[in-house]
Structure 1
Amino acid sequence: MNILWDFDGTLFNTYPAYTAIVKEAIGDTNITDKEIFAQLKISFTDAFQYFQLTEEQIKTIRKKARSLKPKDLKPFPYLEDVLKLADKNVIMTHKEREDVTAILAYHKLDDYFAEMVAGDDGYLRKPHPASYEFLHQKHRIDLVVGDREIDILPAKLLGIKTCLFQNKTPGANYYLNDYSEFTRVVK
């Protein structure tokens, strides 16, 4: 099975760090982590609009997110076991290539991935399907795993099976709360 993975919130549990960064930038103590997290799970753009952030706040958030150290970002439990099951793994992420490469190398997961399309590769952002089309044509993707609806929409357009991780939004073929369930859920 050839799997296309999203990165943030799917391979690595990055949202707690991103939530803290956005909360600090907003500066409003009445806004909860849960509220910020819910907006980030839709998309960063949605969160920026929802909280009516200024360009300066957005710039600060992006700078702080890029300054996170690989040791501070952890892969989800059982992820490596799932990566081993695939014939081929590829990544499509909005995150910059340099950052993803450093995080994967630090956690010794880089050898599990045949290819990556990153945010600085020039493709239109999800849910536009161009990056998925490229990876699908090259690697014949069987399954797309993501944590947000925008991660699965391009796959659905291409007729590829989808799996939402820690998200129950309707429309996916499979749902996982934990990667220990992978072989049971995705057969």
Structure 2
Amino acid sequence: MKSEENGIERNQNSPFLNYIWDFDGTLFNTYPTMLKALKMAMDKHDIHYSGDLAVYIKQFSIKQFAENYGNPAFLEDYHQLEHDLQMQTPPVFYAEIPQILQNIVADGGQNFVLSHRDATTYDYLGKWQTLFTEIITSKQPFARKPSPEALLYLLEKYQLDKAVTVMVGDRPLDVEAGKNAGISTLLLDENDLFGQIADIKYKKWSEWK
């Protein structure tokens, strides 16, 4: 069954009930602004990188880039620059995501967020917070992905059946976290960078079915 609004499948025959969502690059297309802030911070600290930055931060993380090529001051400057840019032009959901989230809830499922962002996660989600059973941010004392610690917390707290729970993300570390927690994985890989590393893979959310 499809929503009349945008043709997104209701997923009534989906094997999953519980969806644990990554934030950046999965729910929200924040990467263009993140990449701009990263380049600004690199210019400020005279840091040079000859590879493809967009691929690096997808494959690893900005935190790892800072550890390998920068310093603590560089990472602090990046976060401030990125925050300022996002405030100037607040990020928005991928177009299909609100309907997908609503359909999951309408079909008796649950959504969760597992974000490496701070409390700004709530600001960006805005009125859509009500579609999530729980939102985990960097303010909570869980190890970062690919550690399964936060996922295991959700599984235990809400007594989620692993067989019908899926980790949804856009990077290998999201997939690794899901596998480490013993649940299924769904990867959004817009540029087809990572091959078939997840149980399910989409290049765009309009493929949702």
In the superposition, the TM-score normalised over structure 1's length comes to 0.86
Q: Write the letter of the residue equivalent to 2:153.
A: F
**The structure with more radius of gyration:** 2
Q: What corresponds to 2:187 in structure 1?
A: 164
* Aligned pairs for 1:62-101 within 5 A: 62-67=79-84, 68-69=86-87, 71-86=89-104, 87-96=109-118, 98-101=119-122
Counterpart of 1:10? 26
SS at match of 1:72: coil
Amino acid at match of 2:157: K
User: Out of 71, 78, 95, which is 1:54 matched to?
Assistant: 71
Q: Counterpart of 1:58 in structure 2: which amino acid?
A: L
Distance 2:41 2:167 in 1: 32
Q: CA deviation at 1:168?
A: 4.5
- Structure 2: distance between partners of 1:124 and 1:66: 23
Unaligned runs of at least 5 residues, structure 2: 1-16
User: SS in structure 1 opposite 2:52?
Assistant: helix
SS of residue in 1 equivalent to 2:198: coil
CA gap 1:70/1:121 in 2 versus in 1, 3 angstroms: farther
Structure 1 residues 146-166: Cα deviation after superposition (integer angstroms, max 9, x where no partner)? 011111212112221101112
Q: Does 1:136 align with 2:155?
A: yes
Aligned length: 178
Q: Which moved more, 1:150-159 or 1:127-136?
A: 150-159
- In structure 1, C-alpha distance between the alignment counterparts of 2:156 and 2:89, rounded to whole Å: 34
Segments of structure 1 that go 5 or more residues without pairing to the other structure are none
CA displacement at 1:83 relative to structure 2: 0.7
Q: Which runs of 4+ in 1 moved over 3 A?
A: 28-32
Distance 1:4 1:57, change over 3 A: same
